[in-house]
Chain A
């Protein structure tokens, strides 16, 4: 399959692909993220879970360059990206989707996904205007890649439809397609299954697993549906009130008393331990 050709090998032989070290972010008096460290290995599916306001999205925003951390550092493939701008970070191979869908409503599904190829486009304004030589060849190759993504996400019947009219679950899928069009090494997914029904969730979980398997893309996933998280993650980080309170494999995290406290309230861990 042509998709396999695009598969990336893990670029960093030793050490984690992404290292977040002691990062903090405050908004006024609120400590959104408080001295958090996580590391993610290449090819992993790592999840971040935690109650609302735990600082999950803020952390994602710092990795993708939307927020500047007040302190701490973020390293991607051995390179410090703490103070880079979002566009520079995207060019390094980090793509993301948003909790509230951020598509261009008037544009078609295909055009929205083509936008994701922008970081890979080399031809300038002038040659694009003339649409000759390089510009034409580029367009063809980018279109081919987008068509692969459309096939991958099974959006063939919608490629010429404006994204505005699509159902919620489909728009989420298109957003994933646009992120994939970057050919990212690291994909940040902010609640890709939020607001979906069970069937849509199962589909989305399948796509995430397939992306990870076919292209070896590292994935950081924020998700509230525990069944999905426990099912597809290699590694889980648990946040509460801006701090990381636990991490480990899904099984380890599920047994952790601190996690049970955060989700069910203090004291429950002991009760459930006794019950068990």
Chain B
């Protein structure tokens, strides 16, 4: 496949061919308002003209910061119209993170959603020498700002229309001049181990990834897609921009992140991509509601859930479903599965993807079992999004499906997955060394993920290549595998497991405040704060029970022996997880070094002083004493310490640096 067009050229074509069809729908003042393709193009063209009038030239960078909103797409496309580069940033990043990305990308124009984002940008403007213009969408609260570089979206478009009166062909000519190989998007990686890197992508990269997905999956112009992912995530750019422009379906923008579930139900999207976090939270919400239901309803739910999961396990193993189970399924469809899908807003969904991180098999199985066509996909920012997906009828929880057409996969000696395709990126911006390190000598991309290709030709991802460790008994150990089992528990929000070069596996657990809060309420457990709740022995017991359940399905060597319930959630503002909610393993291991030593040192409590960062960047120190619990026989000394022949636990080896420094 050769790509012979650019994203703005596609937008202009869509406006010309299907101009009246809705390209987007945005919920505003409680009503879904459509934007036609013609309007998408008009708004983009006017903004592009306004940017041109303000001196924006080919190769300049424009950043967008905010929730998924049509105007932020107009802005990205407007930059691309002029041969510029769009740089979507994470909307919940704190000012210093924004400063790094905008500064590194040498951004000259920022389009910000609202006052909050404008404030962040203005607070770091002295670190942004290239910044010339800040455009805002929502004027609220910005009335008395007297910043000459601050302009409203409408004002820039108005200036654009004036500019177009004297330079009528400026934008069209620039769109015509665009070439598929031109850079159009810098997608900053979420940076699990280091500062974010700017992945440079061309029109051809994005469109070839979109074409490959379109060839592998059933995607129609009549589809409804819910665009709610973080703008900066490559999965969003691929689906809500490249694929959207290529296929011409409708992207729908929810009112606010808080209304997502309600909007999802109102809309009933037909296709969707969501990170594992979304599915985990949704399952937790379903289980909580089922738990709160009357006894009869709860019994019904649990009965039909078991039936569905048993049937699903047979199906994914390729076995026939016996007629008794089939009868149960038919009954369950009417009583449980259909209404559940409807409640979740997934009644119309032909397929939904989970990607970005591994999803626990049990979560995956649940959604499949109730009739939601959830499939795993795999990709990377450096691959302009996705490179493999499961085909219908070949779905199981362990694989991420077959590589798309035009994508070649191979497994390197060290187990790392390597990819070659037209979508492979153009390099990291201003980081040639990192670019060289990411590519093999013969031009394949090193994904950094360890995996293998199974008998059917499906790719199986085990973990990040650098995280794979060895347990005391010499068996390979993938911490994510353990963590995903833990996270299946509705009470566990996040978890991080340790075990590489250690005598046994331990975990730091952050509880889910909602479900544990509900549990505490229904068990008459009084508590004052989240911290207090976390330190309650009842909660430690609750978590212990959950870990025991999880241990039952883990190989003996990988079973968790000791754990600690953290008195806070892992937070992206504290750098513990990325904005896409991946654990930053090396950082956490360092930050909680004392805890890890205590986990392996046989102690029963540990002094912890952690720095927490508020949303507005303020920092505070939190000091506390946390209890360390054993899975077996709580209260007695660590079982392993008393056994002869075990490594001396009181003097553990230094924790290995498993992060790339």
Interface residues of A (CB under 8 A from B): 1, 3, 143-144, 147-148, 150-152, 154, 156-157, 159-160, 206, 210, 213-214
Q: How far is the CA of A157 from the CA of B265 in the complex (A)?
A: 13
A139 to chain B, nearest CB (A): 13
Inside 8 A of B29's CB, which chain A residues have their CB? 144, 147-148, 150-151
Chain A CB within 8 A of B646 CB: no
Q: How far is the CA of A148 from the CA of B29 in the complex (A)?
A: 6
- A150-B30 in contact (CB<8A): yes
Chain A CB within 8 A of B436 CB: no
- A157-B258 in contact (CB<8A): yes
Which of B28, B30, B138, B144 contacts A213 (CB under 8 A)? Answer: B144
A147-B30, A148-B29 known; A156-B259 Cβ under 8 A: yes
B152 to chain A, nearest CB (A): 10
Which of A147, A150, A210 contacts B140 (CB under 8 A)? Answer: A210
B104 to chain A, nearest CB (A): 32
Inside 8 A of A157's CB, which chain B residues have their CB? 255-256, 258-259, 262
Chain A CB within 8 A of B393 CB: no
A-facing mask of B261-283, CB < 8 A → 1, else 0? 01000000000000000000000
Inside 8 A of B140's CB, which chain A residues have their CB? 1, 3, 152, 210, 214
Inside 8 A of A143's CB, which chain B residues have their CB? 30
B33 to chain A, nearest CB (A): 12
Q: Which residue of B lies closest to A159 (CB)?
A: B30
- B255-A156 in contact (CB<8A): yes
Q: How large is the interface on B (under 10, 10 to 19, 20 to 34, 35 or more residues)?
A: 10 to 19
Q: Which residue of A lies closest to B154 (CB)?
A: A1
Identify which of A147, A154, A156, A214 gathers the most chain B CB atoms within 10 Å of its CB. A156
- B256-A156 in contact (CB<8A): yes
Chain A CB within 8 A of B322 CB: no
A-B contact pairs, 25 of them (CB 8 A): A1-B139, A1-B140, A3-B140, A143-B30, A147-B30, A147-B31, A148-B29, A150-B30, A151-B28, A152-B140, A156-B255, A156-B256, A156-B258, A156-B259, A157-B256, A157-B258, A157-B259, A157-B262, A160-B262, A206-B141, A210-B140, A213-B141, A213-B144, A214-B140, A214-B143
Q: A1-B138, A150-B29, A154-B256 are in contact. List 13 more A-B contacts (CB 8 A).
A: A147-B30, A147-B31, A148-B29, A151-B28, A151-B29, A152-B140, A156-B30, A157-B258, A159-B30, A206-B141, A210-B141, A213-B144, A214-B140
Q: How far is the CA of A206 from the CA of B141 in the complex (A)?
A: 9
Q: How far is the CA of A157 from the CA of B143 in the complex (A)?
A: 26
Q: Which residue of A lies closest to B261 (CB)?
A: A157
B261 to chain A, nearest CB (A): 9
**8 closest A-B pairs by CB:** A157-B258, A147-B29, A157-B259, A147-B30, A156-B255, A156-B259, A156-B256, A1-B139
Q: Which residue of B lies closest to A1 (CB)?
A: B139
Q: How far is the CA of A213 from the CA of B392 in the complex (A)?
A: 56
B482 to chain A, nearest CB (A): 35
B541 to chain A, nearest CB (A): 29
Inside 8 A of A156's CB, which chain B residues have their CB? 30, 255-256, 258-259
Q: Which residue of B lies closest to A150 (CB)?
A: B30
Inside 8 A of B31's CB, which chain A residues have their CB? 147
Inside 8 A of A144's CB, which chain B residues have their CB? 29
Q: Which residue of A lies closest to B256 (CB)?
A: A156
A206 to chain B, nearest CB (A): 8
Q: Which residue of B lies closest to A148 (CB)?
A: B29
Q: How far is the CA of A148 from the CA of B138 in the complex (A)?
A: 13
Q: Which residue of A lies closest to B138 (CB)?
A: A1
Q: Which residue of A lies closest to B30 (CB)?
A: A147
Inside 8 A of B258's CB, which chain A residues have their CB? 156-157
Q: How far is the CA of A150 from the CA of B141 in the complex (A)?
A: 16
Q: How far is the CA of A250 from the CA of B280 in the complex (A)?
A: 51
A-facing mask of B121-158, CB < 8 A → 1, else 0? 00000000000000000111101100000000000000
Q: Which residue of B lies closest to A3 (CB)?
A: B140
Q: Which residue of B lies closest to A147 (CB)?
A: B29
A-facing mask of B242-261, CB < 8 A → 1, else 0? 00000000000001101100
Q: Which residue of B lies closest to A110 (CB)?
A: B30
Inside 8 A of B256's CB, which chain A residues have their CB? 154, 156-157
A169 to chain B, nearest CB (A): 15
- A213-B255 in contact (CB<8A): no
Inside 8 A of B30's CB, which chain A residues have their CB? 143, 147, 150, 156, 159
Inside 8 A of A152's CB, which chain B residues have their CB? 140
Q: How far is the CA of A1 from the CA of B114 in the complex (A)?
A: 13
Inside 8 A of B28's CB, which chain A residues have their CB? 151
A22 to chain B, nearest CB (A): 37
Inside 8 A of A210's CB, which chain B residues have their CB? 140-141
Q: Which residue of A lies closest to B152 (CB)?
A: A1
Q: How far is the CA of A157 from the CA of B140 in the complex (A)?
A: 19
Inside 8 A of B141's CB, which chain A residues have their CB? 206, 210, 213
A17 to chain B, nearest CB (A): 21
Q: Which residue of B lies closest to A157 (CB)?
A: B258
Q: How far is the CA of A159 from the CA of B31 in the complex (A)?
A: 13
Q: How far is the CA of A210 from the CA of B143 in the complex (A)?
A: 10
Q: Which residue of A lies closest to B144 (CB)?
A: A213
A104 to chain B, nearest CB (A): 20
Inside 8 A of A150's CB, which chain B residues have their CB? 29-30
B513 to chain A, nearest CB (A): 14
A-facing mask of B498-532, CB < 8 A → 1, else 0? 00000000000000000000000000000000000
A232 to chain B, nearest CB (A): 14
Q: Which residue of B lies closest to A158 (CB)?
A: B258
Inside 8 A of A160's CB, which chain B residues have their CB? 262
Q: How far is the CA of A14 from the CA of B182 in the complex (A)?
A: 63
Q: How far is the CA of A154 from the CA of B29 in the complex (A)?
A: 11
Q: How far is the CA of A1 from the CA of B143 in the complex (A)?
A: 11
Q: How far is the CA of A143 from the CA of B141 in the complex (A)?
A: 24
